[in-house]
Structures are given as C-alpha cells and as structure tokens.
Structure 1
Amino acid sequence: MRKSLDILFGITSILAAVFLVMIALLILSQSIGRLLGHVIPDANELAGFSLAAGMFLALGPSLRQGSHIRVLLVVGHISGVPRRIMDLITLGFAVFLAGYFTWWMGVLAEESFSYGDASAGVLAFPLWIPQAAMTFGLAMLTLALVEGLIDTLRGQATVFADRETSDMTE
C-alpha cells in the first residue's frame, strides 16, 4: 500500500511541478511578447490559475516529505503515551479540516462546471478546471493526513515525522 501511495504522491508532485513550469513559461512568453509588441491575452490569469493548481497539488507530497512547517514547541517535549494522544488529536482534527475543505472545493468545482462559470478575461477560461486541480490537491493532503493518522493508530511513526526528525538531526 505504501508503494502505491509513493507512486500516487510522486505523480502529484510532477503535476505540481508542471504547473509551476507553466507559470514560468507564461511569464517569459509575456515578457518576450511585450518586447516584440505582442500581448498574450490573459497570461496573468492563466499564471494565477497555474499557481493555485501547483500550490494545492503540492500540499500532500510536501506533507509526506516533511516540508510543511509544524510547530513542535509543545509536542516536541512530550513523549510516550501523551505524545501519541496529542498526535492522534491533532491528526484527527487535521483530517477533519482537510476533508471539509476538500468536500466544499469539490462542490464549488461541480457547481462551476454545472453553471458553465468562466473567468472574466478574454479567453473565458472554465473555472472548474483550476478548481478541480485544487480539489485533487486537497484530496491528496487529506490522504496524506489519513495515512499519518493510521500510522499513529498503529503505533508507528508517520512518514513525515521520520523525515522531520532526520532533517533536524542533520
């Protein structure tokens, strides 16, 4: 199961990177276009959509890599059963919040698709596309948190806790 999750989160990381490269290409083409006297319609808007998609798609893989900032001021000084209880409470709450945000972002994407909502720019880009990418990114964050919660329930260290610990000791 862990291998399948590694592959899924790897693919999600690649998608996030693709969107970040798209931002760079859009900005570069817009800059070159201005020098040549051509305007690329809605390049800023598409770069903004790419930014949202790239950021949200990177949430889950970043958590698994231990890249998220987690405040360990209190929990870092607790060990044993109290630490496990604190981890279960915080992970359970995080799963709830991430799941809640995922659900409502999915509802928003579905409504945008149903109503045919589009951006106000020249291209009239369908809003459900970046919203769907954001929903998928939030779902990946929720999945990473559920994985951490299951690991904690089993008494194992989470993937991201292992990486945080190794980063702090280097």
Structure 2
Amino acid sequence: MRKSLDILFKVTSVLAAVFLVMIAVLILSQSIGRLFGYVIPDANELSGFSLAAGMFLALGPALRHGAHIRVLLVVGQLSGVPRRIMDLITLAFAVFLAGYFTWWMGVLAQESFSYGDASPGVLAFPLWIPQTAMTFGLGMLTLALVEGLIDTLWGRATVFADRETSDMTE
C-alpha cells in the first residue's frame, strides 16, 4: 500500500512542478513578447491559476516529505503515551479540517462547472479547471494526513515525522 501511495504522491508532485514551470514559461513568454510588440492574452490570470493549482497539488507531497511547518512546542516535550495521544488528536483534527476544505472546494468546482463560470478576462477560462486541481491537491493533503493518522494509530512513526528536522525545538 505504501508503494502505491509513494507513486501517487510522486505523480502529484510532478503535476505541481509542471504548473510551476508553466508560470515561468508564461511570464517569460510575456516579457519576451513585449520586446517584439506581442502580448499574450491573460498570461497573468493563467499564471495565477497555475500558481493555485501548483501550490495546492504540492500540499500532500510536501507534508509527506516533512516540509510543512509543524509546531512542536508542546508535542516535542511529550513522549510515550501522552505524545501518541496528542499526535492522534492533532492528526484527527487536521484530517477533519482538510476533509472539510476538500469537500467544499469540490462543491465549488462542481457548481462552477454546472453554472459555466468563467474568468472575466479575454480568454474566459473555465473556473472549474483550476478549482478541480485545487480540490485534488486538498484531497492529497487529506490522504497524507489520513496515512499519518493510521500510522499513529498502529504505533508506527509517520512518514513525515521521520523526515522533519528538530533544529528549532532544541
């Protein structure tokens, strides 16, 4: 199961990277195009959509990599059963919040699709496309948190706990 999740999160991180590269290509193309009198319509708007998609898609892989900031002020002072209980409480709360946000982002994307919402720019880009990418990214964050919660329930170290540094807690 862990191998499947590793592959899924790797694909998600590659998608996030593609969107971030798309930002660079759009902005660079627009800058070079201005030198030759050519303007790329809605490049700024498309860059913003790419930024949202890239950042949300990177949430789950970043958590698994230990790149999210976790405040260990209280939890870092605990060990044994109290630490495990506190980890379970915080992970359960995080799963709830991430799941809640995923659900409502999905509702927003579905409504944008059904209403035909489009961006107000020249291209009238369908809003459900970046919203779907954001929903998928939030879903991946929720999945990473659920994985951490299950690992903690079974008494195993979470993937992200193995990779985070404790430089700030010393």
The separation in 1 between residues aligned to 2:31 and 2:95, in whole angstroms, is 42
The separation in 1 between residues aligned to 2:167 and 2:103, in whole angstroms, is 33
Find the counterpart in structure 2 of residue 40 from structure 1. 40
Q: Which runs of 5+ in 1 are unaligned?
A: none
Aligned-pair CA distance for 1:167: 7.9
The separation in 2 between residues aligned to 1:167 and 1:137, in whole angstroms, is 29
Trace 1:1-170 onto structure 2 (pairs within 5 A).
Answer: 1-165=1-165
Aligned-pair CA distance for 1:165: 4.6
Q: Which amino acid in the other structure matches residue 99 of structure 1?
A: G
The separation in 1 between residues aligned to 2:49 and 2:100, in whole angstroms, is 22
Identity %: 89
The separation in 2 between residues aligned to 1:69 and 1:94, in whole angstroms, is 13
- Indicate how the Cα distance of structure 1 residues 167 and 8 shifts in structure 2: closer, same or farther if over 3 A, else same: farther
The separation in 2 between residues aligned to 1:122 and 1:113, in whole angstroms, is 19
With normalisation by structure 1, the TM-score equals 0.97
With normalisation by structure 2, the TM-score equals 0.97
Aligned-pair CA distance for 1:35: 0.7
Aligned-pair CA distance for 1:166: 8.1
The separation in 2 between residues aligned to 1:30 and 1:164, in whole angstroms, is 39
Deviations 1:65-114 (A, max 9, x none): 00000010111110000000000000000000000000000000000000
RMSD: 1.1
The separation in 2 between residues aligned to 1:167 and 1:29, in whole angstroms, is 41
Aligned to 2:164, what secondary structure does the other structure show? helix
Aligned length: 168
